[in-house]
Amino acid sequence: MAVLAKGVLDIGGLPAAPLAAAVAFHADWLAQAEGVLARRDLVMVMPLAGYEHRAWRLAAVQGLARAHAPRRANIVESDDPAGIAAACAFLAASPGITGQILRLDSQGAGAVVD
């Protein structure tokens, strides 16, 4: 199990194809995610992926959140360690957020337009 911190599970090694990635998640990671949720809230960190991965990821995190309430389950999509740490801190301080995907863009929002 790749645990980054208490309640944070690093989901890596997923295939590029959405259906194959969903199968791999459910076969290789779901039981580990439920194991964490048996003890505490869960943040799953996943690599950035195209929009075609959103549906299966959202279904997985929402299903976990419903099944393990009142524990919370969320996904952070990012490749930026500082951003991941900040998002995990935000989620830890936000007890009402569950069943969500937070997609982080390490490129930033860009210049402010006046």
The CATH number linked to 71 is: 3.40.50.720
User: How many Å separate Cα 78 from the centre of its chain?
Assistant: 9
CA atoms within 13 A on the CB side of 25: 25
Alpha-carbon distance of 11 to 45, in angstroms, equals: 6
pLDDT digits (tens, 9 = 90+) for 9-34: 999 999 999 999 999 999 999 999 99
**Residue at 18 is within a domain:** yes
Residue type, 110: G
Range of the domain at 94: 3-103
Q: What are the pLDDT digits (tens) for 59-79?
A: 999 999 999 999 999 999 999
The percentage of the chain sitting over the pLDDT mark of 70, rounded to a whole number, equals 88
Inside any domain, residue 19: yes
Question: What is the structure's pLDDT at 104?
Answer: 92
Give yes or no for a contact between 83 and 106, defined as CB atoms under 8 angstroms apart.
yes
Say yes or no to pLDDT of 3 above 70: no
**What is the number of domains present in the chain?**
1
Residue 111 lies in a domain: no
pLDDT band, residue 1 (cuts 50/70/90): very low
